[in-house]
C-alpha cells in the first residue's frame, strides 16, 4: 500500500493516559493492560469522555530499542486530577508529517517507514514525539484507520 504524507499543524489533545517504557516490538504486548487502566478510570469518571479515540504518544529517545516512554491514552473532554497510574496529559502542538494508514495494524510498520523516508527525502527532521491515533474499531481489517503523526523539528 502506498502511503501519502501530508504536512499538518497539530493542536494539543487532552488525554487520560497511562505511561510505560517499552521497546518498539513490545508495544503490541504492553498497550492493552495500560489502556485497560485508562478505560477503567473513564468508566468510573462520568463526563470526561465523548467518543474519544485511543492515542499512543511516543517519546523519542536516542536508543528506542532499549525502551522508550509511551503514553497509552484516550482523548477526553477536559482536564482532570491525576488518579493513580492515569494522568492528564496534553499532546504536543506543532508542525507534523502525517500519514493515514487504512487496513490491518500489521501494516503500521510500513506506514512509519514511509513517514521516515518522506521526511529524509524532503529535508524534515523528526522531533521528540510521534502519535498513533486509532480510529473506530472494526472486525473487518480493511475498515481500520490509524493516523500517524511525527512532530518535526523547526
Q: Write the DSSP assignment of 15-55 as a string of letters.
A: EEEEEEEE-GGGHHHHHHHHHHHHHHHHHHSTTS-SSPPEE
Pinpoint the alpha helices (H) of the chain.
Answer: 27-44, 108-121
Domain residue spans of the chain: 5-152
Please name the fold of domain 5-152: Multidrug-efflux Transporter 1 Regulator Bmrr; Chain A (3.20.80)
For position 1, what pLDDT does the model report?
A: 63
Q: What 3-state DSSP class applies to 67?
A: coil
Supply 113's cell numbers.
517507514
Q: Which residues of the chain fall short of a pLDDT of 50?
A: none
Torsion of CA 113, 67, 123, 135, to 10 degrees: 50
pLDDT at 49: 76
Determine the pLDDT at residue 50: 65
Identify the pLDDT of residue 62: 94
Q: What's the whole-model pTM score?
A: 0.94
Q: What is the SS3 assignment for 82?
A: coil
Q: Burial code of 38-54, b = ≥16 C-beta within 10 A, e = fewer? A: bbebbeeeeebbeebbb
pLDDT in tens, 6-30: 999 999 999 999 999 999 999 999 9
Amino acid at each position: 500500500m502506498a502511503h501519502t504524507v501530508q504536512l499538518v499543524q497539530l493542536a494539543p489533545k487532552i488525554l487520560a493516559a497511562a505511561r510505560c517504557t517499552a521497546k518498539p516490538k513490545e508495544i503490541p504486548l504492553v498497550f492493552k493492560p495500560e489502556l485497560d487502566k485508562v478505560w477503567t478510570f473513564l468508566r468510573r469518571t462520568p463526563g470526561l469522555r465523548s467518543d474519544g479515540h485511543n492515542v499512543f504518544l511516543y517519546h523519542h529517545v536516542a536508543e528506542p530499542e532499549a525502551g522508550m516512554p509511551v503514553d497509552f491514552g484516550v482523548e477526553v473532554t477536559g482536564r482532570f486530577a491525576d488518579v493513580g497510574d492515569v494522568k492528564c496529559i496534553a499532546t504536543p502542538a506543532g508542525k507534523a508529517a502525517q500519514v493515514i494508514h487504512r487496513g490491518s495494524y500489521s501494516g503500521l510498520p510500513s506506514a512509519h517507514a514511509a513517514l521516515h523516508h518522506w521526511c529524509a527525502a524532503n529535508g524534515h527532521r523528526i522531533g521528540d514525539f510521534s502519535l498513533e491515533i486509532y480510529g473506530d474499531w472494526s472486525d473487518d481489517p480493511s475498515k481500520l484507520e490509524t493516523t500517524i503523526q511525527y512532530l518535526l523539528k523547526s
